[in-house]
Chain A
Amino acid sequence: MAHRLHLNGTILSYQRGQRTLHQNFCLVEIDGVSSLNAAKYYLGKTVFYAYKVKKTETNKKGLRLIRGRIVKTHGNSGAVRVRFTHNLPPTSFGKPVRVQLYPQH
């Protein structure tokens, strides 16, 4: 039986002003988190963005992961800013991410 130990979220966009993009930060909306105080629980937590590639011997699932950390809250409605080890491509906007429950403090 599958057991979930993560929350699902969506990548909204890069952090941006109206005309300026800061591609090193992504804005993520986490399912069920809709307030600033709720989002504070997730600060520091690890996030994974997965994308598909061709299946090979070494990568049998055909998935590659980009790891990120929730760095800050964003706004009052529970969105967060995430910094990934590599900047995400714009094709990731609207795609799901997995927010882990670790690291715990």
Chain B
Amino acid sequence: MKGCTPGQVAIVLAGRFKGKRVVCLKNLPSGLILVTGPFKLNGVPLRRLNRAYLILTKTIVDVSKVDVTKVEDSMFRGKKLSIKKRKEFAAKEEPKRRATRSDDLLKLQKSVDTGVLASVKSVKRMGSYLSSNFTLSKNQRPHLMKF
């Protein structure tokens, strides 16, 4: 499977963000693709996505000024809550919670997104394109579509 070119817009096909159009940033060594919404446009944070569940389109956003060289797979491996905390939540009968994102990731999210948003704004209608969802309508045939 080919990876993405940095800045390529992709359509997410499955998962929580299905239908969203996102900007691919990097191919990670694990084989996953690092992606960002940008968060303000469509609610997709810096995230790793599996290439099999993305349609890579030919639209490319200029991300040459965005620095993602330090991003690694290990930054995304979610830390499980300790058993003690999980029991606390269970005792309070609250819904299950995952550990929140690390501050490093949140900072990185901001810095990456400002760079991506700057190039998105320079292209006409790119912002509204990334905010919109992909959907198949009645007579659309994916085998005839050129992504």
- In the complex, chain B residues whose CB is within 8 Å of the CB of A3: 18-19, 133-135
Proximity string of chain A (31-75) to chain B, C-beta cutoff 8 Å, 1 when within and 0 when not? 011000010011000000000000000000000000000000000
Q: How far is the CA of A38 from the CA of B141 in the complex (A)?
A: 9
Let me know if A100 is at the binding interface, CB within 8 A.
yes
Q: How far is the CA of A103 from the CA of B143 in the complex (A)?
A: 14
- In the complex, chain B residues whose CB is within 8 Å of the CB of A41: 142-143
- Residues of B in contact, count (CB < 8 Å): 21
Q: Which of A6, A33, A102 contacts B53 (CB 8 A)?
A: A102
Proximity string of chain A (1-43) to chain B, C-beta cutoff 8 Å, 1 when within and 0 when not? 0011111000000000000000000000000110000100110
State whether B143 touches A38 (Cβ < 8 A).
yes
State whether A102 touches B52 (Cβ < 8 A).
yes
Let me know if B123 is at the binding interface, CB within 8 A.
no
- In the complex, chain B residues whose CB is within 8 Å of the CB of A100: 13-14
Chain A facing B: main interface SS: loop
Let me know if B51 is at the binding interface, CB within 8 A.
yes
State whether B133 touches A104 (Cβ < 8 A).
no
- In the complex, chain A residues whose CB is within 8 Å of the CB of B91: none
Q: How far is the CA of A6 from the CA of B18 in the complex (A)?
A: 11
Q: Give the residue name and chain of the B residue nearest to A34 (CB).
A: B141
Let me know if B71 is at the binding interface, CB within 8 A.
no
Let me know if B136 is at the binding interface, CB within 8 A.
yes
Proximity string of chain B (30-51) to chain A, C-beta cutoff 8 Å, 1 when within and 0 when not? 0000000000000000000001
Q: How far is the CA of A49 from the CA of B116 in the complex (A)?
A: 40
Known: A5-B19, A5-B134. A102 touches B13 (CB 8 A): yes
Q: Output the least CB separation between B140 and chain A (Å).
A: 8
State whether B139 touches A101 (Cβ < 8 A).
no
- In the complex, chain A residues whose CB is within 8 Å of the CB of B90: none
Q: List 5 contacting pairs A-B, 8 Å CB cutoff, sorted by A.
A: A5-B135, A38-B141, A101-B55, A102-B14, A104-B53
A interface residue numbers (CB < 8 A to B): 3-7, 32-33, 38, 41-42, 100-105
A3-B18, A5-B19 given; 5 more Cβ-contact pairs under 8 Å: A4-B135, A4-B137, A7-B142, A41-B142, A105-B1
